[in-house]
């Protein structure tokens, strides 16, 4: 499915891609869409899923981004209640992938201390990442995405963890891990695997482990952005070849994403972006959500299209009045919608606040 068709099928009357970038108006009322991330690996039968999705639909939601669980069961329930079902996929973080960990330990990223994220996951035990520079990694992920996109029960593929390990954590998490990250520390700086070192040397002539101050080296930084972006391009092809849209959860703004996680997302050929504007993680407030939306929308507009951007909102940091304010702020800033993390955190009061904010 082409992006324009996807926008139409998402219930929009506005064909955003058909307008020249300079003339793009703020999203029309009908194009503001409500999505939610959903943990699908819950012990629920079809009737229970239908009840939960009917509740979302009544509050004005259009689509769910579902991770885990049975695709046919949960998709069937979502569609029966008029919601699109997008499959949420952990991309470069392959902690849950025992097959890859056993068969291909060499695929995992390596820190500046030359330790594998498989053997020495940074910060938390589930931080095990594969290297996007490696052709077999791309081929493997491409196959997984093609398989999901080819499934008739799947309306779209949603990428998450499309990045390197956080070289710098969001400011609000430093205390949790007892860290001061005013510089890039080597144990959190990836990827110095043999393939990355060889590819960078072929381009630049230097071995990255011999760069005196790799944290200040523009070419080395850009190599890692481009490595992730190259993998995303292949995954986008795999989804589009199977007629499905592909979206991603990304860090809050292009500049924060590049600095913290080597994610150059405003160059990715995706059909919709979900920027995780989780203000509590950054010790910020609701106006920061609006600033982040403006930066993301401007970056997408600058590249010459108007790919929609939905603001990702983190419910544990938003009581119902704050959620209403966050949605209104994102909308005024030019967002094409929001997505809430995650469905089980939506109280009746949250849903009422959402309805008021979009009515
Ligand atoms: Zn590597």
Number of domains in the chain: 1
Residues making up the chain, counted from first to last: 359
Q: By C-alpha distance, which of 93, 239, 100, 91 is closest to 157?
A: 239
Residue 226 lies in a domain: no
In which residue are the tokens 């990223």 written? 109
DSSP letters, 136-151, are HHHHHHHHHHHHHHH-
Q: Please report which confidence band the pLDDT of residue 12 belongs to, taking 50, 70 and 90 as the band edges.
A: very low
Residue 268 lies in a domain: no
- In sequence order, what are the residues at sequence separation of 6 or more whose Cβ sits closer than 8 angstroms to the Cβ of residue 142? 234, 235, 237, 238
Taking the C-alpha atoms of residue 354 and residue 9, their distance in angstroms, rounded to an integer, is: 22
Residue 282 lies in a domain: yes
CA 72 from centroid of its chain's CA atoms: 23
Residue 59 lies in a domain: yes
Residue 22 lies in a domain: no
Taking the C-alpha atoms of residue 14 and residue 27, their distance in angstroms, rounded to an integer, is: 8
* Average pLDDT over the chain, rounded to an integer: 92
* Cβ atoms < 10 Å from Cβ of 188: 20
Q: Give the structural domain span for 5.
A: 1-13+31-90+277-359
Residue 279 has pLDDT above 80, yes or no: yes
Tell me, in angstroms, the distance from the centre of ligand 1 to residue 108's CA: 7
Which own/partner contact pairs does 14-19 have at CB distance under 8 Å and 24+ positions apart?
16/306, 16/307, 16/308, 16/336, 17/305, 17/306, 17/307, 19/306
Q: What is the number of alpha carbons within 13 Å of residue 125 lying toward its C-beta?
A: 1
Mean pLDDT of 120-133: 94
Residue 359 lies in a domain: yes
CA dihedral 348, 350, 355, 358 (to 10 degrees): -170
Tell me, in angstroms, the distance from the centre of ligand 1 to residue 135's CA: 11
In this prediction, residue 30 carries a pLDDT of: 57
Residue 329 lies in a domain: yes
In this prediction, residue 18 carries a pLDDT of: 39
* Cβ atoms < 10 Å from Cβ of 226: 17
Condensed to tens digits (0 to 9), the pLDDT of residues 130-168 reads 999 999 999 999 999 999 999 999 999 999 999 999 988
Tell me, in angstroms, the distance from the centre of ligand 1 to residue 199's CA: 9
In this prediction, residue 3 carries a pLDDT of: 40
Condensed to tens digits (0 to 9), the pLDDT of residues 19-55 reads 344 444 444 445 899 999 999 999 999 999 999 999 9
pTM, rounded to two decimals: 0.90
Residue 330 lies in a domain: yes
Helix (H) or strand (E) holding 327: helix 320-332
Tell me, in angstroms, the distance from the centre of ligand 1 to residue 25's CA: 41
Tell me, in angstroms, the distance from the centre of ligand 1 to residue 263's CA: 15
Tell me, in angstroms, the distance from the centre of ligand 1 to residue 239's CA: 24
């Amino acid at each position: 499915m082409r992006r324009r068709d996807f926008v139409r099928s998402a219930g929009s009357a506005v064909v955003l891609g058909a307008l020249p970038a300079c003339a793009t108006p703020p999203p029309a009322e009908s194009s503001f869409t409500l999505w939610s991330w959903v943990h699908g690996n819950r012990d629920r039968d079809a009737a229970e899923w239908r009840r939960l999705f009917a509740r979302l639909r009544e509050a004005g939601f259009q689509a769910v981004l579902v991770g885990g669980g049975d695709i046919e069961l949960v998709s069937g329930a979502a569609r029966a209640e008029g919601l699109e079902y997008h499959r949420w996929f952990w991309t470069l973080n392959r902690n849950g992938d025992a097959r890859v960990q056993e068969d291909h330990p060499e695929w995992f990223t390596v820190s500046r201390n030359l330790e594998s994220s498989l053997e020495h996951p940074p910060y938390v035990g589930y931080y095990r990442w594969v290297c996007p520079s490696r052709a077999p990694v791309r081929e493997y992920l491409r196959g997984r995405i093609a398989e999901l996109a080819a499934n008739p029960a799947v309306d779209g593929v949603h990428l998450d963890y499309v990045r390197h390990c956080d070289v710098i954590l969001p400011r609000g998490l430093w205390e949790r891990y007892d860290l001061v990250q005013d510089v890039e520390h080597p144990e959190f700086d990836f990827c110095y695997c043999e393939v990355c070192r060889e590819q960078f040397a072929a381009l630049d002539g230097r071995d990255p482990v011999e760069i005196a101050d790799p944290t200040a080296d523009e070419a080395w930084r850009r190599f890692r952005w481009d490595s992730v972006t190259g993998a995303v391009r292949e995954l986008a092809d795999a989804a589009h070849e199977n007629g499905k849209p592909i979206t991603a959860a990304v860090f809050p703004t292009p500049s924060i994403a590049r600095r913290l996680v080597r994610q150059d997302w405003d160059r990715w050929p995706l059909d919709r972006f979900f920027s995780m504007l989780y203000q509590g993680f950054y010790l910020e407030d609701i106006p920061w959500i609006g600033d982040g939306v403006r930066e993301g929308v401007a970056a997408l507009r600058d590249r010459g299209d108007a790919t929609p951007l939905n603001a990702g909102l983190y419910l544990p940091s938003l009581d119902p009045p704050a959620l209403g304010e966050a949605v209104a702020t994102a909308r005024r800033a030019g967002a094409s919608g929001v997505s809430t993390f995650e469905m089980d955190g939506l109280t009746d009061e949250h849903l009422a606040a959402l309805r008021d904010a979009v009515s």
